[in-house]
Structure 1
Amino acid sequence: MTRTTDYSSLEPLQGASILRLTDLSAAQIHALIALARAMKADYPAFRDALAQKSLVMLFEKPSLRTRVSFELGFQKLGGGVCFLDHRNELIGQREPVADYGRNLERFADVIVARVFRHETLVALRDNCAVPIINALSDISHPCQALADAMTLVEHGVALNAMHLAWVGDGNNVCLTLTELAAITGGNMTVVTPPSHEPNATLSAEIQAIARSTGSTITVTNDVTAIRGAHAVYTDAWISMGQEQCADKVNALRALQVTPKIMALAGAHAKFMHCLPAHRGEEVVDAVIDSRASIVYDQAENRMHAQNALMLAVLGALPQHRSAHASTLIIETSRAPR
């Protein structure tokens, strides 16, 4: 018995830059998840998908999961990778971002950038002929959200019916997950202290998307609003590049994810974190090490979700074509459940 997966919605992504999750439609998010799961089940079938393709990685911030998942993932698909460390010299410092991009486009097929300022990504995109992929900026982390969406689906949560709870600082990951809920028609409850709610301007944009899809995004200071959530998600209170701030830490202490907080969501709620975790701050060991925790599934799925995105933007989708669609025939007996 076989199952045919249609990837035609991904074809318009060829050559596209992905700076925010809003660069993708709901259909594209679902198709990327399906493609990522197909690769996860059978990487040998994709081993030459990116042969002779080159990835350049520009990192202004340190990384474990992002660097390893992009580097090894691209290599699994047959491509070559060049890593440029910008931790000591930010992009645009030595030469204008526009000049930098115009040089790199002559060598690379795709550029992945992890930056402090989202404006750097925009400048690269506007001055470069190859796709730019956001590997984290101050306002967005789309690859993380794709991996999180994949992880939720693997754990039986339908994105258009999900209730995702965020507890902590209303940061870039939080904003991107609200984009995920808004685009896919899911629901999200964001619990933060009053002084650390998500960016108001971006939140207004995301709420407009939510109204068009029937999604509900609630921002509150009341942690009891997470009742019934499929998953409780948190992140570090102090993001990379931010200075330690005692006032911020004190404001967030009441939102430390403990077994008591998880019990509010319910017995079947999962715990999520994009990592690295600061144990004893935003989460305690009894939660992150519990059976409810799916944080390492999230980490693994970074590679698979990103690889799916790479195939799409590089025009390397599975080539079993019908007259109207890109498709892949998958043996259902081999696909993991």
Structure 2
Amino acid sequence: MTNHFQNTSFLKEIDFTTAELNYFIDFALHLKDMKKKNIPHKYLQGKNIALLFEKNSTRTRSAFTVASVDLGAHPEFLGKNDIQFGKKESTSDTAKVLGSMFDGIEFRGFAQETVETLAADSGVPVWNGLTDQWHPTQMIADFMTLKEHFGHLKVLTLTYLGDGRNNMGNSLLVTAAKLGVNIHIGAPESLWPAQDIVDLAKAEAAKHGSDVLLTADPQEAAAGSDALYTDVWISMGEDVDPAERINALKPYQINQALLDATGKDDTIVLHCLPAFHDHKTTVGKQLGEQFHMDALEVTDDVFNGPHSVVFEEAENRLHSIKAVMAATLGDLFIPDSLFDEK
């Protein structure tokens, strides 16, 4: 049996070719169909999976847990109080111990260096559930959602509005460019992605016939877009002045006016969640009242409106993560020839 991805870690999008990223997306769509039809797919029967969470999560933890069980594996959750993450035991030593007991490791936390060290020293596949720099499993779900909705990816235009230099801005910029999707970033210049990531995305876009646009004008960013995407304006654990950040990003809120600015009737709205679209959360209520806003990064009428696919996107975290786990750890027939450059 041949498996092109056997014992490969999934750490960041730039490690994979366009063909490989498309494989993960298509495999995720296939596994979603299998689950809907109640067809068993125990590709990881008898495997043990360590789920390391330095940062809390709803969707990532749920998706990795259910994906493991659906694939026949046993997941074991280890939170920030269960593992040292370099405090009393080095990440390298931890990697060697966990690699001797588990067949695969997921990590969600702060430093990209941590997940890279786990992959280098554990001897088993390691999957990045989020770091401050990249969010690759979210990308497979997001572009899976786009393909599911539009039937293709090439020539679509995706606009991301908000904090462009966080992990979502980085990942969307590079992944879209690699997949031939036009990518617009609408953000204040101070919140644009780092120049090396922009340069990387532009080089990939040139190869795949797509455009990269960075603009401080939200209307220009939205024009012609098939999908508008946003994220919370202040990331988990980020030490910033809320007033400065929120006032800077108010013009980039996804609302009906910005949706109309796309000039299209079938534009979809994406959000990686959680979202402050109303006052029904403690944080959303506190910030909303403080800044006299009914919602922050996306208005409730848009978030719960007919253009929103945020909950389909959230479900797709499960199927995309399952595809990554099965492809990299399962005994699948995935020949190298499938990825030969045409």
TM-score (normalised: structure 1):
0.89
Tell me if 1:307 matches 2:299.
Answer: no
Out of 228, 233, 237, the position equivalent to 1:232 is 228
Q: Give the drift of 1:316.
A: 2.9
Matches within 5 A, 1:32-47: 32-43=24-35, 44-47=38-41
Correspondence for 1:160: 154
Stretches of structure 1 lacking an aligned partner (at least 5 in a row): 1-7, 327-337
Out of 118, 140, 149, the position equivalent to 1:124 is 118
How many Å separate the matches in 1 of 2:151 and 2:183? Answer: 13
Counterpart code for 1:163: T
Greater mean alpha carbon deviation, residues 205-214 or residues 259-268 = 205-214
Matches within 5 A, 1:141-220: 141-170=135-164, 171-220=166-215
Whether contact under 8 Å (1:73, 1:304) holds in the other structure is: yes
Out of 237, 243, 248, the position equivalent to 1:241 is 237
How many Å separate the matches in 2 of 1:121 and 1:262? Answer: 37
Whether contact under 8 Å (1:102, 1:127) holds in the other structure is: yes
Counterpart code for 1:161: V
Change (3 A) 1:23 1:325: closer
* Counterpart secondary structure, 1:143: helix
Q: Deviations over 1:70-127 (max 9, x none)?
A: 1011101111111100168651112011100000111111110001111111111221
Q: Give the drift of 1:212.
A: 2.2
* Counterpart secondary structure, 2:101: coil
TM-score (normalised: structure 2):
0.87
Counterpart code for 2:21: I
Correspondence for 1:316: 331
Tell me if 1:57 matches 2:72.
Answer: no
Out of 248, 257, 263, the position equivalent to 2:260 is 263
* Counterpart secondary structure, 1:37: helix
Out of 296, 302, 306, the position equivalent to 1:287 is 302
Whether contact under 8 Å (2:155, 2:210) holds in the other structure is: no
Counterpart code for 1:152: L
Correspondence for 2:76: 82
Whether contact under 8 Å (1:61, 1:87) holds in the other structure is: no
Q: Deviations over 1:15-55 (max 9, x none)?
A: 11111111222112222222212211123434322111111
How many Å separate the matches in 2 of 1:88 and 1:309? Answer: 25
Counterpart code for 1:302: R
Whether contact under 8 Å (2:218, 2:252) holds in the other structure is: yes
Q: Give the drift of 1:67.
A: 0.2
Counterpart code for 1:71: T
Whether contact under 8 Å (2:147, 2:153) holds in the other structure is: yes
* Counterpart secondary structure, 2:150: coil
Counterpart code for 1:237: W
Out of 7, 11, 29, the position equivalent to 1:19 is 11
Correspondence for 1:73: 67
Instruction: Report the RMSD for the aligned CA atoms in angstroms.
Output: 2.0
Stretches of structure 2 lacking an aligned partner (at least 5 in a row): 278-294
Out of 109, 115, 128, the position equivalent to 2:109 is 115
How many Å separate the matches in 1 of 2:159 and 2:110? Answer: 26
